[in-house]
Amino acid sequence: MRKLLVALTVVLLFTGQLLAQKTITGTVTDDKGNPIPNVSVVVRGSNTGTVTKSDGSYSLTVPASAKALIFSSVDMATTEVTIGSQTSINASLKSSDRSLQEVVVVGYGTQRRKEATGSVSSVKGSAIAQKPLQSFESGLAGKAAGVQITVPNGVVNNPPVFRIRGTNSISLSSYPLIVIDGVPTYTGDQGATSAPANALASINPNDIESIDIAKDAAASAIYGSRAANGVVFITTKKGKVGKARVNYDGWVGFTKPTGLPKILDAQQYVDYKNAALNNLKALVPATTGSFIIPTDADGKPINTNWYDEVYRNAFSHSHNMNVSGGTEGTTYYFSAGYTNQEGILQKNDFTRTNVMLNVDSRVNKILTIGGKLSYSNEKNNIGGSSGSLPGEGFASAGAARLAFALPPNVSPFNNNGTYNYASATSIGSQGSIVNNANPYTFNNVRMLLDLNRSNNEVNHLQSNAYVQLRPFSWMTLRTAYGIDNMLIDNDIFFNPYHGDGPGTGTGPGGAATASYSKDKTWLWTNTIQLDYTFFDNHNFSLLAGNEQQRRTTVGFGINRRTLSDSAYDVVQAGFTTANPAGTSLGENYLLSSFGRLNYDFKKKYFLSGNVRQDEYSALGVKKGVFWGASAGWEITKEAFWGSIGLDKIFSSFKLRGSYGKVGNVAGIGNFATFSTYGSGLYNGIATLGFNVVGNDKITWETSKKTDVGFSVGVLNDRITADFAWYKNNIDNLLLNVPQAPSAGVPGNFVFQNVGTMFNRGVEVSINATPVVKKNFSWSSSFNFAYNKNKVTALANGLTEIVTATSSLETVNKTVVGKSIGFLWVIPTGGVDPATGKRIFYNAAGQPIYYQFGSPLPPGQFTYMTANGARYEKTNADGSKSPLSINQADDGRLYRNTQPKYIGGWDNTIRFKDFDVNFLFTYQFGFSIYYGSYAGLRDQRFWNNSTDVLGYWKKPGDITDMPKPIYGDNVSNGSAMPMDVAVFKGDFVKLRTVQIGYSLPKSLVSKAKITSARVYVSGQNLGIISDYPGPDPEVSANGNTATSAGVDRNTLANGRTITIGLNIGF
Amino acid sequence: MSLGLVLLTSCHRELLDPAPQTSVSDATAFDQPYRIANQVLSLYSSFKNGNFYGGRYIVYGDIRGEDFLLEDGNLVTNADVWNLNPTNTANAIVGLWNQVYSLINNCNVFIDGMNEKGTLVVGTTIGNTYIAEARLLRAIGYYSLLQYYARPYADGNGAKLGLPLRLIGIKGAGASDLARSSVAEVYTQILADLDFAETNLPLTNGSNYNNTTRAHRNTAIAFKTRVYLSMQNYPKVIAEANKIVPAAGPFTATSGVPHVLQADYTSVFKTPYTSLESIFSVPFSSSNGDIPGTQNALQGYYYAAATGVGSIFSLNFAGIIGNTGWTATDKRRSFIYTNPPGTKKFLTKYPAASPADFSPVIRWAEVLLNLAEAKARTTAGVDAQALALVNAVRQRSDATTTLAPATNGDLIDAIMTERRIEFLGEGLRNNDLMRLLQTIPSKSTAGAKAPGDDGYTWPASSTEKSLNKLWVDN
């Protein structure tokens, strides 16, 4: 700070020199003649300047030597006017909608894109507004190079997988830092129920002005220890001076599920399962029973389509109203929104009510104050569980799984109208019996959907206030205080009869959980910004600041079990046992100082440096310095460029490069440095035991980022393009390093900074306006990104990180030399045409034939070699014991789950009063483990895909469906994952289409409205992919970095059609 | 600018050093007598974890033997243990190893803390009592691991590979590598711990509840009879037992807690579970963290519901319940439930789901039978005291039967049979087979395992093997 003061004093001395002067006045207007306030008017090559008033007028005293005035404003193209002898200069600014002329948010300030040397992608708020999304980031897919968005399923308000330039951490968060109006906010599912509560859903997408995505070290280093995954800056809408504008936007939408697997009907099911059962009877004569089709109350055969019980055609609607305007330096933007969106899963709803107010007031030439108040209430409801959230993949109550696995020959209801269930875990078999028992050990999903709930309600308050002083045109002092408070109520109820609720006791069972969590952030930021030009051409911009961020979390709740009265369904009612639930208490504090220096010479050579020192309470080594440096060269400004004629082709050509070091602390526990003793009970008496090993040496993960690229404009910037090559070397990865269990440390691991990984890639984005005519225009934007991810080191004693899906099935392994979360499955060799057996390959590559059944007839073995002998090993004492195929010994690292190529193609066409927008997104070069595929071929009582009907029937049959034997869960891949369930995930998706019609001005003005537009849009309309599952955009494990690319019992995505209306007054 | 300076100095540096409020830092864990007292109880909590005496350890001991049949082929619930073929990644192999070593390290950390500071805080007498409790639990931990992962003592008189012997508390990374001590070395440490415990534990803890749920002097002596029996050191079994077992009936402990057989066998396994027969049992409540946990509780394994349906193991008709000398009126048979068709039988010793029944660790009946066996194996013919002891156990439940073996061999057989009847469902069967290097008999579809067979002892936990660079397999 002292150094800053010295610099400041020097600057002040410079400005003390006064010269001969004259005064120039004028008005600045836009191309329609409307006055523009707040335009910066500066004498070229000096720091003398002012800003325009609300009527667009200005008055500026300039030195006699002044040659030209430069007029500049956000969203406007900068204009330069020669002064000459004039004393009155009016200027007209054109609005700039070309990307290179935009302003980009760079953290604690903005920068003109032309002058930015960091790698920043920008998306306008309008691009994601008016869509049936719950949160803005779901709409970013395909919109920016290197930004990967995967919307994993059709559960409403589920956070998408969000990656910038690949996955940049193994065990910490890989989610970018999201900064909303200067305040870093919460991300991810913050609820504690089966209905996800994406923290970012509190931002109404319609209130967003712009989204700027900082990708390299130069652009993100100002956020230091939190920048490794990139930084996303959200700027909400502000008012503009002028008459109040009122806008209404509303839509109604209809969503239906797409891509559901085709499954057997009751007749097919009964025929197929009986065939499988007969095959088992032939092997194991003791087997008895059969599957039947019972009749319903009307005497008709039961044929239940469980899809109808689980899915629905959903209806959604949304209404947004905003008022903006301003007078005499005070501007305001107020909005209110309500949206109710039904999921395609029955009982799954998202409701948001939100208001936001942005006010900025210029008190006088020097002082500006303002602030934001944003409140959002969200209700996330679900009946039971979708089975699609991380950890739910194998939930026996998972609705998506039950929809295709429940047998079609049973009904959700008995013929007397009561629910059909046999026990807590089994639906009634209604007559089908195997081995004297009900074979149907799945839940009746209808009952769970009707009687259970797993809801949460979020109250989210995001607010800030600032005071800004501009004592000189080149100096800005600002202090801002912000809060971000998330208060969540969780409400879970399990019915006492069926599913997860019934207890083992004799009472009615039932369970209810209520918990409350309170996450609070306050943030105080102080900055000083100096913009100064020396000797006409040396432009300096210096930022210095400090910031404190405090986060606290408090959670408490109760879990009550065994209802006193089976009619109760709320936690406040009578229950016989109670346990604490959802207790948490945490705090952290981040103390930072930072600075940035931008320099350019004649807007030709650019240099920029960012530095930030962070001290973070949760770390052992608390203090770190992060930085990024970059340089740019606008070649078109060089004389030789014109001399060789390149200026006729390129309107701009800027080379840039950056390097820097940033960190990642997201996901480190607040008290991970402490070794602690925890409280417990010994028959109800308090105990205290050593239960956590801390590591007081832990520190941030480090990302060293290099970025080299260039930006070009061709044909007067009608085509612009950005190219970037980047490398991100990550080291000090924080991993739970396993310790030998005999050391006995709690958890058998110690959290340590070990391990390295890199992401390298190339990005291209091209924006073009191929056609601009009065009545017809077409603008197009295409982006492409290639990324290569590789883990280069783990830890001593940690050669692989094996990550299970819902702790039951393991198909992901992270090993050195491969990309993170590689698929790990057992190789197979199809179905033996002679016997109909599944062929597995063991680690030695030998074919091993699997035979289900126990006890097997003489001469038959569970695992047989090609010559019909038992697959066995010889023990040390010479005896033999049978061997089996198993994943630990025979599994193979098979394919990558990280997409290599991602991108999108966005087009907008205007024809007279019509506009059409369509967006394609694509991802290539990755594979998916389609776990549901195994379930859909399971030979237990589970319903199957119609694919099974081509099963092996007689010797010589060539098929991929083994001879069905009732109970076989190995040949299909349920017991251990097989390579045949791995598919290429490559896809091209027609993600959105919108067709709008703006009512003619002549018509709307009669109705006393400014503008009116109606539109029809579609989401998720078409897909080109060889992937056989519902949707190749999957993530059964949410944002978990090490277990991507798994589709296990996941709810399908929906296809949505909306009809909307937008009216401006 | 002055405003700016005010802002800059207003940061809260103290917030950079928060302390957890929901747990106790290791720096202050030994500062207060009550904290130290609570720590002792946490060692017992660790001991009764579902992977150890909370259930699974007892289950392993029963189901490796021939008296139980598998009802649910789920690997998670020990189908492989029953089949005598668990792999080195099996739940049982990894779970027991992890939990017992966790207990051992907790004991070591506690003992270190007491030596550094704790004993000064609570005084030498109480301090030594606490350390004695920790060493007793550590000893049971080591003893229990030896019975599964190492060759029996009888195989080479303890010369075979035993366990990594960890006696210093570990609170951080870098301690993974430690070679295995020999079986004999581990037994030496176990006995040193138990001798220390015998010397420093109080004669009584003051109440039946405390005498059952916490160690006292007789707990250490009783456990030593089990340890020496496993080492086939019968004279020492007799020496230890003679410290508390009188020469003739009624066999009431002669010093310390006056242990005695209860008139009604079934009362030992019923609330309040704290009879004078229960030398050491571990209790449960219905609170989270104080329960055996899912798929660990004895109730779920043996008698999951009032009809037995859902139980993971049933009783083998060809096992001890088929013993014709075990009369129908024997009180101990009242714990056998037969389902209505008569096709299945289940053990109902542990019917309570929540709170779970206490888990028995050691009972007075075992001390009596340990002594009886040691006497029988060291005395020619039919030793009178041995016969009196085994008949005391038999006639407490079956007054009409008097065992009258004719030879020394018959006497030993009678004692071994009595152990199977008396301790059915208490986890002793595996240890009794292995200490004598006997073949584990076959049952149903599971074949027998001779002492030389793969699977007679358990394989090393895969994680220990991969992370402890000094590990050597059996």
Chain B (136-155) residues lying within 8 Å, Cβ to Cβ, of chain A: none
Tell me the average pLDDT across A444-458. 96
pLDDT computed for residue A264 by the predictor: 97
List, as ranges, residues 77-136 from B with C-beta within 8 Å of A: 85, 87, 89, 94, 97-98, 101-106, 108-110
Q: Are B291 and B375 in contact (CB under 8 A)?
A: no
Hey, are the CB atoms on B102 and A746 less than 8 Å from each other? yes
pLDDT of residue A877: 65
| Per-residue pLDDT band at A928 (split at 50, 70, 90) | very high
Exposed / middle / buried, residue A268 (Cβ in 10 Å: 0-12, 13-18, 19+): middle
Mutate to test the interface with A, among B9, B13, B21, B26 (most CBs of A within 10 A): B26
Query: For residue A620, what is the nearest residue in chain B, using CA coordinates?
Result: B17
Q: Is B46 an 8 Å CB contact of chain A? A: yes
Share of chain B above pLDDT 90, in %: 82
Of the residues B8, B21, B22, B458, the best mutation for testing chain A's interface (the one with the most A CB atoms within 10 Å of its CB) is B22
Are A744 and B38 in contact (CB < 8 Å)?
no
pLDDT at position A508:
65
Q: Do B172 and A695 touch (CB under 8 A)?
A: yes
The pLDDT value recorded for residue A10 is 41
Crossing angle for the helix pair B183-200 and B217-230, nearest 10 degrees? 160
Q: Which chain A residue has its CA at the smallest distance from B305's CA?
A: A504
Amino acid at A137: E
Query: What was the pLDDT predicted at B195?
Result: 98
Q: Distance between CA A750 and CA A697 in Å, rounded?
A: 11
Q: Quick: pLDDT tens for A728-746.
A: 999 999 999 889 999 999 9
Model confidence over A173-209: pLDDT tens digits? 999 999 999 999 999 999 999 999 999 999 999 999 9
Question: Cβ distance A69 to A143 under 8 Å?
Answer: no
A555 — phi, psi (to 5°)? -145, 145
pLDDT of B353-392, one tens digit each?
A: 889 999 999 999 999 999 999 999 999 999 999 999 999 9
Best CA proximity match to B214, nearest among B136, B149, B286, B289: B136
Query: How large a percentage of chain A has pLDDT more than 90?
Result: 70
Model confidence pLDDT, tens digit, residues A761-798: 999 999 999 888 888 999 999 999 999 999 999 987 78
Q: Under an 8 A CB cutoff, do B18 and A588 touch?
A: yes
β-pairing, A242-257 vs A289-290, is unpaired
Interval B445-461 mean pLDDT: 88
DSSP A160: P
Q: Which amino acid is at A430?
A: Q
Residue A586 has what pLDDT?
Answer: 95
A587 Cβ under 8 Å from any chain B Cβ = yes
User: What's the average model confidence in pLDDT over A588-617?
Assistant: 95
Check whether A357 has a pLDDT greater than 50: yes
Q: What is the mean pLDDT of chain B?
A: 93
B11, A505: Cβ pair inside 8 Å?
Answer: no
Asked if pLDDT for residue A18 goes beyond 60, the answer is: no
Report CB contact under 8 Å: B176, A745.
Answer: no
| ipTM value for the complex | 0.93
Closest to B45 (Cβ–Cβ): which among A546, A682, A752?
A682
The pLDDT of residue B234 is above 90: yes
Q: What is the pLDDT of residues A261-318, one digit of tens each?
A: 999 999 999 999 999 999 999 998 989 999 999 999 999 999 999 999 999 999 999 9
The separation between CA A506 and the C-alpha centre of its own chain, rounded to angstroms, equals 45
pLDDT at B8: 54
pLDDT digits (tens, 9 = 90+) for A216-247: 999 999 999 999 999 999 999 999 888 889 99
pLDDT band for position A876 (cuts 50, 70, 90): low
CA distances from A246 to A580, A1010, A1012 (A): 49, 9, 12
Q: Does B444 touch chain A (CB under 8 A)?
A: no
Distance in Å, alpha carbon of A446 to nearest chain B alpha carbon: 25
> Cα separation of B351 and B270, whole Å?
10
Q: Do B172 and A693 count as a contact with CB atoms less than 8 A apart? A: yes
Per residue in A124-149, pLDDT (tens digit) is 888 888 888 889 999 999 999 999 99
Enumerate the residues of chain B whose CB falls inside 8 A of the CB of residue A879: 453-454
- Across the interface, of B19, B175, B467, the residue whose CB is closest to A738 is B467
Report for A1010-1019, B224-233, B242-251: range of highest mean pLDDT: B224-233
Q: Is residue A835 scored above 60 in pLDDT?
A: yes
As a whole number of angstroms, the distance between CA A737 and CA A748 comes to: 8
Query: Kindly report the CA angle at A1044 between A1041 and A1045, in degrees rounded to 5?
Result: 170
The predicted pLDDT at position B71 comes to 87
| Higher pLDDT, residue A333 or A76 | A333
Specify the pLDDT at position A7: 44
How close B393 gets to chain A, by Cα (Å)? 30
At B320-356, the pLDDT tens digits run 999 999 999 999 999 999 988 888 999 999 999 889 9
Residues A456 and A195: beta-carbon distance below 8 Å: yes
Which residue of chain A comes nearest to B104, CA vs CA?
A: A744
- Partners of B463 on chain A (C-beta within 8 Å) are 738, 740-741, 748
Longest Cα separation, chain A: 112
* CA separation for the pair A41, B27 (Å, rounded): 63
Mean model confidence pLDDT for chain A: 90
**Is the CB of B13 inside 8 Å of chain A's CB atoms?**
yes
| Phi/psi of residue B177, nearest 5 degrees | -85, 120
pLDDT value of residue A74 = 62
Average pLDDT over residues B238-248: 96
Taking CB atoms and an 8 Å cutoff, what residues of chain A touch B173?
695, 737, 739, 745, 750, 752
Measured CA to CA, the distance from residue A110 to residue A116 in angstroms comes to 9
Give A834's pLDDT tier (boundaries 50, 70, 90): very high
How much is the pLDDT for A32? 67
Taking only residues 281 to 340 of chain B, the set having a beta carbon closer than 8 angstroms to any beta carbon of chain A reads 283-290, 304-305
Per CB-CB distance under 8 Å, the chain B contacts of A685 are 41
- Verify whether the Cβ–Cβ distance B11 to A670 is below 8 Å: no
Nearest by CB: A587 against B7, B18, B94: B18
Among chain B residues, the shortest Cα distance to A616 is held by B16
Residue A741 is nearest to which of B41, B97, B285, comparing CB atoms?
A: B97
- Name the pLDDT band for A477 (thresholds 50, 70, 90): very high
Which pLDDT belongs to residue B255? 95
Lowest mean pLDDT among A40-49, A600-609, A748-757, A1012-1021: A40-49
- Chain A contact probe: residue of B42, B178, B278 with most A CBs at under 10 A: B42
pLDDT tens-digit profile of B137-158?
999 999 999 999 999 999 999 9
Can you list the domains of chain B with their CATH numbers? 3-467 (1.25.40.390)
